[in-house]
Structure 1
Amino acid sequence: IKELFNNDREEVFKVQLPNMEERRTFFGDLIVNQAAKPPASENSPAWRPLEVLPVAPPPKPRQLTEKEIRQLEEREEDTLRELRIFLRDVTHRLAVDRRFRAFTKPVDPEEVPDYDTVIKQPMDLSSVLSKIDLHQYQTAGDFLEDIDLICSNALQYNPDKDPGDRLIRHRACALKDTAYAIVREEMDEDFEQHCEEIKESRKRRGMYAPSYYHVTPKQNSVPGCKNTDPKCDEKTKMPAAPVDSSTPRSNGKLHFIQTFLEKVLKSMIP
């Protein structure tokens, strides 16, 4: 080992043995001073039990500047715009499917008088499109909830008793399964999770759809007529809906089912 170090290059440091005075100076403080101190008493702070302190609240998030808030809202709106485009496409594909023609428009209470007494929250595909335009869907889950409502309303109003009711029930279940299959197949799970985060963030910030998306009712457009004139109401009424609507022209549920079956039979004839 000595050959590894060279004395000429000052690689070797010689340590001489300490004398008695050097040893006394080195160990004097440890033996004479430190060892002579009395031990800590029980009344000293070191022996007292520590107070249990409550957990400190997390720090408040940094307040965003107006520019950062505007940029955040623009990014969120870009994401929700893609969601609305996708939901419109899904709704359109459901509406043009002949199997789901009965669910495309609201049920007319004049044609089916007892519908409102049975169904308290009606829903149809045209109403779904209106809610998309009004920015009322922030996630695909919100959209599917209304699809579930269309199906549950059809099952509730049409009991499983006759062929007409069974056909409507089958098509309502097919509508639900088709909508879920399209969303699950074509929508990325990460995109839906991002929409959920936007929904929660906007709920915390108290941000909702702009008020100008709501359309005011149309005024009477017939010239020379007053709003209270019943004749004007007759002039401004829309023409009768075609037989292909959700509620064919009839005076009751029985006629509604008969007309619906006739349409189905005609569609099956080549």
Structure 2
Amino acid sequence: MKRNVLFLALLAVVVSGCSRDETRPGVQPRKSAPSTDGAPPREAESAGPRAERTLWNPDLGTASIAGVVRFVGSVKPPGPLDTSSTPQCVRINRGPILDESLIVGPEGGLKNVVVWIRKGLEKWEFPPPTEPAVVDQKGCKFEPHVLAVRVGQEIRIRNSDPLIHNVHALPKRNTSFNFTQAQQGMEDVRTFERPETMIPIRCDIHPWMVCYVTVVPHPFFAVTGEDGWFDLAGLPSGEYTVEAIHERLGRLRRTVSVSEGQRVQLAFVFHESPDAKTQQ
């Protein structure tokens, strides 16, 4: 009941016609890679020179921006991907490997959307976390399918399968990498040093395998589950551009101001528009 009430409140600020980049950031896994530029170089950095920034003080973070990302349109259950080149993958995965490029929950929530503060935190310096992020190759698929990390944060990439895998990152603003993990249990560590959205990481051996990594210069981001909910808590007061990015449906943005101690609620709505370059 509380969630239904909150959703009705969110409808008042629903975002279904926000500005969006002309280039769609994603496509089906076996087609060309999604756009990963995220923004022109100056904006995508989301920070000025280090000498002009101030070390972040968490005591100033009393505001928050929370809400839901929803999908409007016809939805089919995720179908199986073509894994016929490696039949043992179905056995390892204990079933067909499903397409994760569009997952909508029972109440219309859109999964695997990165929601982050695109603009408004440029004056702050945020040291990277000491805890690494993890990308696993398990059941002939990358887990998680969509991941958000901090600039400079370690990403531990593992092979949990009894098969050889390849890890090939295709960024546009960061340094690419391409290596093989030939044995089960192998682990390599990589980092991305610049902000960038929806970097595809693929396995060149198993062409259906892909995940997307977004690199953020601060801790104010979330990746939605099937309920579509996000909560960007601990923000300082100010004006922010909030962006929601989906690998197939593109990106939506909203500018919002929050005061000290205030909690602002937003809703992003993506529409079914496979041939459109902008969300309406």
Fold equivalence (TM over 0.5) = no
State the structure with bigger RCO (CA 8 A, min sep 6), 1 or 2: 2
What is the TM-score normalised by the length of structure 1? 0.22
Q: More strand per residue: 1 or 2?
A: 2
Larger Rg: 1
TM-score by length of 2: 0.21
